[in-house]
Chain A
């Protein structure tokens, strides 16, 4: 997997509060160019908030989030967001746009020529394994959950952003489709080498996709490391997640 020691995204002493309630506390994290970092945690542990701090849908209460060594506060928010692909659960597709319009959204915001957008949409549909002739004119409600997810990923990749944020993109899928998409993601990642921040509550998914895994617990980043490092961790939250994994394997 292509990866360098260059830092793409950095959290420095970041905390985030809503109505004086701490959501994230004193967070420090460097994400390297080309790696896939998976944020693993229960619901409410603060992992989605971390994504939103990166594309400035949330603004840190204290501390600094920087992209390419520049604080997100100093970026033009719109330009920043257009450099960052954003894929969320399938509800994020625009129901009144067809597949081609959904995927072509950021390129058209960037005022690409129509022919170039069209070519890009076809290329991406092929990339995510959807037949362009069949799917380009369909609307989201005419797609299966897995197909919507593929469109969501294609849309996030449309303007070829160096950074990709994915918020439980495969969460609502059946296990077979999910595995298929996870494999395809790995294949894509090998080809494209994006910096990916991937949020999930599924430890298997984390192990399968992550270069490194960040374990979140009640707003703190409690473990950060590879799969093996996480397996060795004595932190109670890490043990709890690994216990799930074991229970699952024994049951199966």
Chain B
């Protein structure tokens, strides 16, 4: 079931995952525990600080990642913002358990200590912290479990880790890939919990002596710290790839990202760092604007409505020109020539339903939708040009609307847990799962031409890039992209091979 390559990548990703969690935990512990101690000394600060930590934990992780992209130094994409986000999530259990642990030390004991002439520092290090160490360690265990879980989302901003498998698996509806990420993540969580549980037990069996750690532990801890520092160093100071190419987190985008990357690598001497599977249009846009990635492929309709917040336009050329000009002026971004195909929104139903009800267009479908269950993505339900306006145009009403992750829609319509989904016209699964696209007969959706978008400063720095990307102009037909999507989605073939074959077929290698 797993090839050697798979195993090697599982080990690599597990390593990345562990490093993310370890660094985040080290940072979180060195902030959280002192903070927890501090608020036992200044009780007035306790409520505000615990409140902030609490609030941080309720923010969805993708939102934190999105916010961090534009923050200098700590933000961007890659490992740094992932570590920052993990740290923020780990703070609450650490601060709270330290605070509660110290405050629940029997008052008679602290009073005895004080009465015998211990200074506050001596009381803290020799009595309160050792007696609270069980609670503090329990906090570390909880925080570690949270971090291992949240770290899977780090893949959305190019942080690596086991989430890479999970996102890839969700995008290609490949349970095997999802398991390749989920099982090792669970194993790491369990392993870390067992190890910390063992430490906790040892601490309660053999109480710390006078707050001084045993020499043995100190040496062990020192070696561990050095090892981690070494791993971190290796990770950060690997020969840096010259530029980064990004993509959103679905199959077609990953294919297009890989395609740009291979095209650049075959025709120039530039190395490409693939930051594929970034979590959505917003994150990609912020990343390319900040120069964290050199470029990615966007769709003109998305740029016009979602990024530029302009009203829909029906003429494809006009949309392209508007977007190109606005990107040039507002963001210093270059919109290069369209790749050839359009990826519009598509309302999709099962063939059997289409035949039974005799419907081909959205107008015809409006009569039957009150008996149907719709499955839509969060983005589609939210955006201005998405569901609300479309429903108004066609007078659509549904029996029930299910919000779902993009990648869960096809399994859902196949298993008949929904009857109609809003997905993309280029999805390779449409023919494979015997689905029908309902025609947008009122031309509601604007054109969504695929265009490479690049950071202008990067193009100036590496003038050899643009001519190479321009060679792709108009080369990818709707059939081509559907076929590539199908190869990856349904045949589970590796993206890089599918892309290489296509490039070869177009004599681009």
Which residues of A approach B to under 8 Å, CB–CB? Answer: 52, 55, 57, 77-82, 84, 86, 88-89, 91-97, 101, 105-106, 108-109, 139, 155-156, 165
A109 to chain B minimum Cβ distance, whole angstroms, is 6
Interface pairs (8), CB distance under 8 Å: A77-B117, A86-B116, A96-B207, A96-B208, A105-B116, A108-B210, A109-B116, A139-B207
Question: Which 5 residue pairs spanning A and B have beta carbons closest together?
Answer: A81-B117, A96-B207, A92-B112, A82-B117, A86-B115
The interface stretch among B103-111, B189-197, B239-247, B306-314 is: B103-111
B101 to chain A minimum Cβ distance, whole angstroms, is 13
Whether B122 is near chain A, meaning CB under 8 Å from some CB there, is yes
Tell me the dominant secondary structure on chain B's binding face.
helix
Tell me whether B130 and A88 are in contact (CB under 8 A).
no
Tell me whether B112 and A88 are in contact (CB under 8 A).
yes
Q: A52 vs B130: C-alpha distance in the bound complex, in angstroms? A: 26
Whether B18 is near chain A, meaning CB under 8 Å from some CB there, is no
Known: A101-B210, A109-B122. A94 touches B117 (CB 8 A): no
Whether B114 is near chain A, meaning CB under 8 Å from some CB there, is yes
Q: A108 vs B209: C-alpha distance in the bound complex, in angstroms? A: 13
Known: A96-B130, A96-B131, A101-B210. A91 touches B114 (CB 8 A): no
Q: Enumerate B196-225 residues with CB–CB distance to A below 8 Å.
A: 207-210
Residues of A within 8 A of B131 (CB): 94-96
A118 to chain B minimum Cβ distance, whole angstroms, is 14
Tell me whether A94 and B127 are in contact (CB under 8 A).
yes
Contacts A57-B115, A94-B131, A96-B208 known; list 6 others, CB within 8 Å.
A57-B111, A94-B113, A95-B109, A96-B127, A105-B118, A156-B116
B108 to chain A minimum Cβ distance, whole angstroms, is 4
Tell me the dominant secondary structure on chain A's binding face.
helix
Tell me whether B117 and A91 are in contact (CB under 8 A).
no
A159 to chain B minimum Cβ distance, whole angstroms, is 9
Known: A97-B207, A101-B210. A89 touches B117 (CB 8 A): no
Residues of A within 8 A of B116 (CB): 81-82, 86, 105-106, 109, 155-156
Residue with the greatest number of chain B CB neighbours at <10 A, chosen from A77, A88, A92, A156: A92
Whether B119 is near chain A, meaning CB under 8 Å from some CB there, is yes
Chain A residue nearest to B131 in the complex (CB): A96
Tell me whether A89 and B108 are in contact (CB under 8 A).
yes
Q: A139 vs B204: C-alpha distance in the bound complex, in angstroms? A: 12
Residues of B within 8 A of A156 (CB): 116
Residues of B within 8 A of A93 (CB): 109, 112
Tell me whether A78 and B109 are in contact (CB under 8 A).
no
Q: A216 vs B208: C-alpha distance in the bound complex, in angstroms? A: 42
Q: Enumerate B109-139 residues with CB–CB distance to A below 8 Å.
A: 109, 111-119, 122, 127, 130-131
Residues of B within 8 A of A105 (CB): 116, 118
Residues of A within 8 A of B111 (CB): 57, 88, 92
Tell me whether A92 and B207 are in contact (CB under 8 A).
no
Tell me whether A88 and B114 are in contact (CB under 8 A).
no
Contact of B115 among A81, A95, A97 (CB under 8 A): A81
Chain A residue nearest to B122 in the complex (CB): A109
B200 to chain A minimum Cβ distance, whole angstroms, is 14
Q: A216 vs B119: C-alpha distance in the bound complex, in angstroms? A: 32
A51 to chain B minimum Cβ distance, whole angstroms, is 9
A165 to chain B minimum Cβ distance, whole angstroms, is 8
B352 to chain A minimum Cβ distance, whole angstroms, is 71
A114 to chain B minimum Cβ distance, whole angstroms, is 11
Tell me whether B115 and A94 are in contact (CB under 8 A).
no
Tell me whether A91 and B207 are in contact (CB under 8 A).
no
Q: A81 vs B210: C-alpha distance in the bound complex, in angstroms? A: 20
B111 to chain A minimum Cβ distance, whole angstroms, is 6
Chain A residue nearest to B111 in the complex (CB): A57
Residues of B within 8 A of A80 (CB): 117
Residues of B within 8 A of A78 (CB): 117-119
Residues of A within 8 A of B115 (CB): 52, 55, 57, 81, 84, 86, 88, 165
Residue with the greatest number of chain A CB neighbours at <10 A, chosen from B113, B115, B122: B115
B483 to chain A minimum Cβ distance, whole angstroms, is 69
Q: Enumerate B332-368 residues with CB–CB distance to A below 8 Å.
A: none
Q: A86 vs B122: C-alpha distance in the bound complex, in angstroms? A: 17
Tell me whether B118 and A109 are in contact (CB under 8 A).
yes
Q: A109 vs B116: C-alpha distance in the bound complex, in angstroms? A: 10
Residues of B within 8 A of A81 (CB): 114-117
Chain B residue nearest to A139 in the complex (CB): B207
Residues of B within 8 A of A95 (CB): 109, 131, 207
A204 to chain B minimum Cβ distance, whole angstroms, is 25
Chain B residue nearest to A51 in the complex (CB): B115
Residues of A within 8 A of B210 (CB): 101, 108
Tell me whether A88 and B127 are in contact (CB under 8 A).
no
A108 to chain B minimum Cβ distance, whole angstroms, is 8
Q: Enumerate B122-163 residues with CB–CB distance to A below 8 Å.
A: 122, 127, 130-131
